[in-house]
Amino acid sequence: MKKSKIQNPKSKTPKICVFDSGLGGLTVVRSIRERLPGAEILYLADTAHAPYGEKTHDEIRRYSLEIARFFVEEQKADALVVACNTATSAAIAALREHYPDLPIVGTEPGIKPALSATQTGKIGVMATPATLAGEKYQALVDRLCGMQEVELFERACPGLVERIEAGEIDAPETRAMLEGWLSPMRSAGVDTIVLGCTHYPIAAEAIRQVMEVPVRLIETGEAIARRLATLLGEQPAEAPGHLRIFATGPIDEAAVERIVGEKVVIDRIDR
């Protein structure tokens, strides 16, 4: 694969480009804005191809490279965030090979912080089928779970991303799905659940209600924001940063506003 060099010099105000298949990556954007409030952030929701969790790795890799080309060549990105566990597993190696000079931060399930947080040694993992089946996730589990005695309760959650995208978190059908995935964790005494998809924090309150007992939910947005601050340097916020959002297909604008805390104009693009 031909490598593309980054020609644009790093700007004083970093331009951080973030993508996911839909709304989920906005939970990562929220954490980045808290950590780097002066940064310019461009977000692309690839809703035309959502959900990624049920696509093949070759398809996800192709979508990811097309999005990266848009960000690098057309938008002059200073950093790229793959705000999707599934796309990270399928495509981050290809992205780093293609853009070796660009800081690229991926997303992986928060197994390590979960190991620090659990008191019972029983940890739940909710993720898409593609994430749980991926080599990257399996390697992470093998490496970290050998460090201490722990029991993992892994649950693939097909259909949950679509429910979240449709704004149906509180629908009876969604609650029934969550009950099916979470009741074994509740019965086993799981006290920490890894949210292995960036969409899932949007359903955090519903997950807590179904669990019925106090539970620590681990999401990865804060870790990504810390990594960006390390790569780009802590930037003084002389003025609030700008957020621009693109979508390749239909998107729930009201949900976007709820997640980011403000009304944002969404540009429709064809990829």
pTM of the model: 0.86
Residue entry with tokens 């990270």: 88
Q: Taking residues 197-201, report their average pLDDT.
A: 94
Percent of the chain with pLDDT over 70: 93
- 157 has catalytic annotation: no
Q: CA-CA distance, 144 to 113, in Å (whole number)?
A: 10
Is 12 or 104 the better-scoring residue by pLDDT?
104
- The string of DSSP codes covering 14-65 is -EEEEEESSSTTHHHHHHHHHH-TT-EEEEEE-GGG--GGGS-HHHHHHHHH
Q: What is the pLDDT of residues 74-117, one digit of tens each?
A: 999 999 999 999 899 899 999 999 999 999 999 989 999 999 99
- 84 has catalytic annotation: yes
What local confidence, expressed as pLDDT, does residue 235 receive?
Answer: 65
Q: Which amino acid is at 163?
A: R
Question: Of the CATH numbers 3.40.50.1860, 3.40.50.1170, 3.40.470.10, 3.20.20.70, which one belongs to the domain with range 111-218?
Answer: 3.40.50.1860
Phi–psi pair at 244, nearest 5 degrees:
-125, 135
Task: Identify the DSSP state of 100.
Answer: T
Q: Which fold has domain 15-107+221-268?
A: Rossmann fold (3.40.50)
Of 17, 84, 145, 157, which is the active-site residue? Answer: 84
Q: Taking residues 155-159, report their average pLDDT.
A: 95
- Mean pLDDT is lowest, of 19-33, 76-90, 112-126, 132-146, for 132-146
Q: Taking residues 57-71, report their average pLDDT.
A: 96
* pLDDT at 260 exceeding the cut of 90: yes
- Mean pLDDT is lowest, of 75-79, 240-244, 258-262, for 240-244
* Residue-averaged pLDDT of the chain: 91
* pLDDT at 29 exceeding the cut of 70: yes
In the chain, list all ranges with CATH 3.40.50.1860: 15-107+221-268, 111-218
Q: Taking residues 242-252, report their average pLDDT.
A: 95
Percent of the chain with pLDDT over 90: 75
Q: CA 16: distance to chain centroid?
A: 15
Q: CA-CA distance, 269 to 243, in Å (whole number)?
A: 16
Helix (H) or strand (E) holding 91: helix 85-98
- Cβ pair 182, 207 in contact under 8 A: yes
* Sequence-ordered list of residues with C-beta below 8 angstroms from that of 93, at least 6 positions apart, any chain: none
pLDDT band at 1 (very low <50, low <70, confident <90, very high): very low
